[in-house]
Amino acid sequence: MAQLEDLMHEHFIEYASYFILDRAIPDLRDGLKPVQRRILHTLFTMSDGRYHKVANVIGETMKLHPHGDASIADALVVLANKDYFIDRQGNFGNLLTGHPAAAARYIECRLTPLALDTLFFEPLTEFIPSYDGRNKEPVFLPSKLPVVLMLGTEGIAVGLSTKILPHNLKELWQAQIALLGGEAVELLPDFQQGGLMDVAAYDDGRGKVEVRARIREKDAKHVVIEEVPYGTTTESLIASIEAAVQKGRVKLASIDDFTTDKVEIELTLARGVNADEVIPQLYAYTDCSVSVSSNLNVVSGRRPISMTVSEILQVLTVQLKAQLKAELEYERGQLVDRQHWLTLEQIFVENRVYKRIEEATTDEAVKSEVMQGMAKFKKLFVRPMVEEDVKRLLELRIRRISAYDIEKNRREVDDIVRQIKKLNSRLRNMTKTTVSYVEDLIEKYGDDYPRRTEVTRIEAVDKKAVARQNIKLSYDRESGFFGSAVRGDHFRMSVSEFDLVLGISSDGTYRVMPPVDKVFFSGKLVHCAPFDPEAGVEFVVVYRDKKKIAFGKRIKIHRFIRNREYQLIKERAGKLDLLIDPDTAGVVELGFTPMKRQRVTSGEFDLSILEPTSPTSRGRRLAAKPVNKVKHSPAEKLAKAPKPAMAAKPRGGAKKPPPRSGGGGQGALF
């Protein structure tokens, strides 16, 4: 078992490492995943200026890619639809509608001028053997573009994922110039689909952006969606709108899709609905507004690392400077080699050094004569002469020597010297050279890549505020059920899906609940209304316990757990007599249960003196005697009528006794 465990552990680590480094996560240096790199390299080797059948490109790429043609075809279509590196011809699908591309045998592609200018430099490209050893593939392309930020990419590996949002190429170039000048930069995403974008939470690529569709009010009865958010298509957007309509969240009469190369989804509003009401609902309940998170993980130095957008661009700007320097040095080396050869050739012909080999009889003697003859002019050499130079001089044909044009040779050497001086000047100030290179790219290609997504401040839509009151609730007294599936005549109301409803029954139970299909109340429902949890609601409660002792309390319901049943009465056997607004509390008249020798048969209590308490507390006792009758006189009636004497009438015409406290304390006279 231990050996098997070690074997599984080793194989899993290898698999995870391979998946991260060679499948799903892009390389920071060229911003490409391996399959994308192999496609572009294959197109470069096939490049002849004409279009190639995608099926042929896939076949050639399979010589480098071990995972089959389907993955190559999908990756090629995605890369082509980015509009940077692959010039396409035919149906490559529609990024806006989500329609797939045609079969590979019907579509064609080739590299764009931008790709040919910036992605390849074969003399400085490092190659490794392909998976079967028959071919060679690049370790990474010597790219001079911030590809990883241009394209944007997603990838899910073993225990690691990445999501890099695409950025505007022209803005990336301008940011690189700013970085080379020592300035700080701020980069924001830019999406091919356009739309509106709020970047308040982007945090240099460590956060998220809010992206919205661009919606225009066409007239009083129509609104038009002209751009869709990143990550959606017209089909998925329409599906989300239809779902919202079915749930009653948005009220529309019809949806018409006229999208071609531009998005045009026309929504016809229902009767009695206006655009100012519908547009916020579209943003609140459909994919017209989406949140897109960014998670920048890339491969650098054969290991995955997490970076910010500005850190990536800083690294790639330094890389660009180094790449340009390497290419200039290579070009200078080629010119020096050419100057060296032309100088040797001129000396060899002009000074008739070739005459010395006429009397030599062996190969070594011939080489020795050339070396000795040329040594007299070593002060004119660009660099020391080597044996390879001798072989090349001996390969000169008689026709070449006899027709040799010394003046032409000298002009060419002078031209090479001037080019070397220019290269040396550019190499001495690589910052200026890099800035000039980027400026040339902006001038040549910048107008082809305008910003498409508008950066703006998006106010969050309050879903509760724009929700439609489309859920109808009612209560059926006979069955005791309440909800949207109940057809009753009491407590009818229309609420939204975000509203809460407070229901209180005659047995003192209450609950706060969202709109429900059907719920049963054990007692008779005495209060049911929409409930605001922030403000709460206040009541004056009068109830009798199982011994018929009357209690009163002033409560506020504002803390609760949804759908949980609470008790206003301490014991379930009690009875709820009054549930009233504190502003109309008034006075309650209590009729006492008849007893032997009872002189006082009733009493009154001023409910306005009750102190606020918890809904589940017992409350204040209103009388010391059991109560069999409770009668309420609201405050407004008391204000109009003359105030009665708060005393019990004695039986049999006896003299009225002096008032005494009956356990209710202040305000209760018995």
Rounded CA-CA distance 79/109 in Å is: 11
As a whole number of angstroms, the distance between CA 52 and CA 58 comes to 10
User: 318-346: per-residue pLDDT in tens?
Assistant: 999 999 999 999 999 999 999 999 899 88
Domain over 323-448 is classified CATH 1.10.268.10: yes
Q: What is the mean pLDDT of the chain?
A: 87
Written as one letter, the residue type at 61 is T
Q: Give the residue numbers annotated as catalytic, written as ranges.
A: 106
Eight-state DSSP code of residue 377? T
The single-letter DSSP state of residue 517 is S
Which tokens in the block code for residue 499?
A: 């509203």
Q: What does pTM read for this prediction?
A: 0.78
Cβ atoms of residues 594 and 601 within 8 Å: yes
- Which of 299, 296, 267 lies closest to 281, judged by CA? 267
d(CA 252, CA 478): 37
Within 13 A of 658's CA, how many CA atoms are on the CB side? 1
- Average pLDDT estimate for 304-314: 94
For residue range 528-573, what is the model confidence (pLDDT) as tens digits?
999 988 889 999 999 888 888 888 999 999 888 888 888 888 766 6
The residue written with tokens 């944007």 in the block is 152
CATH fold for the domain made of 18-143: Topoisomerase II; domain 5 (3.90.199)
CB 352 within 8 A of CB 301: no
In a 10 Å sphere around its CB, with 0-12 CB exposed, 13-18 middle and 19+ buried, how is residue 397 labelled? exposed
Q: Is residue 55 pLDDT above 90, yes or no?
A: yes
Rounded average pLDDT over 287-314: 93
Which class is 214-287 in CATH?
A: alpha beta
Start-end ranges of CATH 1.10.268.10 in the chain? 323-448
Which range among 172-176, 394-398, 653-657 shows the weakest confidence by mean pLDDT?
A: 653-657
* CA dist., res. 318 & res. 73, Å (int): 34
How large is the average pLDDT for residues 105-131? 95
Percent of the chain, pLDDT > 70?
93
Q: Where in the chain is the domain with CATH 3.90.199.10?
A: 18-143
Strand-by-strand arrangement of the 222-227 sheet:
214-219, 222-227, 265-269, 252-257
Question: Where exactly does CATH 3.30.1360.40 map onto the chain?
Answer: 214-287
**DSSP string covering 271-315, please?**
TT--HHHHHHHHHHHSTTEEEEE-B-EEEETTEEEE--HHHHHHH
Is the separation of the CB atoms in 73 and 103 below 8 Å? no
- Tokens for 220, please give them: 């009083």
The strand pairing partners of 255, in sequence order, are 267
Query: How does residue 23 score in pLDDT terms, banded at 50, 70 and 90?
Result: confident
- 500 neighbors 512 (Cβ within 8 angstroms): yes
